[in-house]
Amino acid sequence: MDVPARDVDAVILVGGKGTRLRPLTVSTPKPMLAVAGFPFLAHLLSRIKAAGINHVVLGTSFKAEVFEDYFGDGSELGLDIDYVVEETALGTGGAIRNVYDHLTHDTVVVFNGDVLGGTDIGDVIETHDNNDADVTMHLVRVPDPRAFGCVPTAADGRVQAFLEKTNDPPTDQINAGCYVFKREIIAGIPAGKVVSVERDVFPRLLEEGKRVYGHVDQAYWRDMGTPDDFVRGSSDLVRGIAPSPLLKGRTGESLVDPSAGVKDGVLLLGGTVVGRGSEIGAGCRLDDTVVFDGVTIEPGAIVSNSIISDGAHIGAGARISHCIIGEGAVIGARCELQAGMRVWPGVNLPDGGVRFSTDA
């Protein structure tokens, strides 16, 4: 046991469609994609458990059944997990309101289900308690805040505004996707309606003068919503740059499932992961790459900064950089693919037939 149990519920929002990660998310919801050998959500759940929180409610919608099939009642992780399904997606605020009847404590920590972080969850709760806040938001600074919720704060940490995805952000301080709520504030969100916590709930709470505070820190933080961030986050977990209780003592330059076959002379670099039953041929070089399960990569292929989905087949001498290869796709020998290409599941590219490289 890491810390004493807390009188706090955790809620994780996992109902999004993950469109920026297509085609990976055609069949698998974003939080269930394998990252460093586990579904992404397993890493978050293990951090929640390590913070002393035992009761977790998953707010699901898109492909809801996949979560319960994998995690069941949560007992294997030492957790008690409830599932609440939205028939049609209710948005982030509607999803939080929708789990209200399942809450058992007056303090509720809500997580976006696609954030890889190293923040001490207990510290965020402590900031909330110390300020007697209605809501406390975890905030981080990022180089480009435009893709996030921008959250300026006063010197005492009180939130001054919440500006979701604005082109002209007044600060580089953004919503990190983890909030502590007083339960009564959740009761005040309209029920059974589509509501955005970022665009509707937070601006309204600020207008009403509610006590909304920020908790800023410098811990590891990454939203896993884009292919580049997904690959980087996975590699950072493998290399121990991003922490996960599930990987304690197992971090290094690469992570290879024991059932995978990696031939001599293969270079696995930059936090590359090789999943169950995958076969990597002689002389391949894989850098900063996520290889899911049952993949075959023929000898001499060079793959970097890419995601290779279940059952894909990569031909000998192929070169793949910054791509997503969909489930069961076949990339012929000597094909060259790069710069954001996404090959859809089952697509078959003939040997030597595709060369999208801009190299000479």
Site of interaction with ligand GDD (CB under 6 A) = 13-16, 59-61, 86, 89-92, 95, 112-115, 148-149, 164, 174-175, 177, 198, 223, 225
Instruction: Choose from ligand GDD, Mg ion, none: what does 91 bind? Cβ within 5-8 Å by kind.
Output: ligand GDD
Closer CB to ligand GDD, residue 198 or residue 236?
Answer: 198
> Closest Cα partner for 57 from 98, 92, 16, 29?
98
CB of residue 99 to ligand GDD, shortest distance in Å: 9
Burial class (CB in 10 A: 0-12, 13-18, 19+), 177: buried
Considering only residues 80 to 119 of the shown chain, the ones binding Mg ion according to CB under 5 A are 114
DSSP-assigned letters across all residues of 296-326 = EE-TT-EEES-EE-TT-EE-TT-EEES-EE-
Which pair of tokens denotes residue 119? 């923040």
Instruction: Choose from Mg ion, ligand GDD, none: what does 95 bind? Cβ within 5-8 Å by kind.
Output: ligand GDD
Distances in Å between the Cα of 131 and the Cα atoms of 5, 175, 187, 208 are 22, 18, 21, 17
CB of residue 229 to ligand GDD, shortest distance in Å: 10
Secondary-structure percent of the chain, ordered helix, strand, coil, rounded to 5:
25, 30, 45
CB of residue 304 to ligand GDD, shortest distance in Å: 25
Instruction: Choose from Mg ion, ligand GDD, none: what does 14 bind? Cβ within 5-8 Å by kind.
Output: ligand GDD
State the Cα–Cα distance between residues 59 and 86, nearest whole angstrom.
7
The 3-class secondary structure across 23-57, one letter per residue, is CHHHHCCHHHCEECCEEHHHHHHHHHHHCCCCEEE
CB of residue 270 to ligand GDD, shortest distance in Å: 24
Within 10 angstroms of residue 282's Cβ, the number of other Cβ atoms is 13
Closer CB to ligand GDD, residue 59 or residue 281?
Answer: 59
Closer CB to Mg ion, residue 163 or residue 312?
Answer: 163
Rg (CA), the chain: 21
Closer CB to ligand GDD, residue 198 or residue 288?
Answer: 198
Closer CB to ligand GDD, residue 85 or residue 354?
Answer: 85
> Closest Cα partner for 43 from 229, 231, 247, 256?
247
CB of residue 75 to ligand GDD, shortest distance in Å: 23
CB of residue 65 to ligand GDD, shortest distance in Å: 14
Closer CB to ligand GDD, residue 115 or residue 247?
Answer: 115
> Closest Cα partner for 357 from 339, 330, 332?
339
Closer CB to ligand GDD, residue 12 or residue 308?
Answer: 12
Closer CB to ligand GDD, residue 149 or residue 332?
Answer: 149
State the Cα–Cα distance between residues 156 and 153, nearest whole angstrom.
8
Residue 198 contacts Mg ion per CB under 5 A: no
Residue 225 contacts Mg ion per CB under 5 A: yes
CB of residue 15 to ligand GDD, shortest distance in Å: 2
Within 10 angstroms of residue 314's Cβ, the number of other Cβ atoms is 30
Q: How many residues bind Mg ion (CB under 5 A)?
A: 3
Instruction: Choose from ligand GDD, Mg ion, none: what does 92 bind? Cβ within 5-8 Å by kind.
Output: ligand GDD
Which pair of tokens denotes residue 158? 């009180």
Binding residues for Mg ion, rule: CB under 5 A, are 114, 223, 225
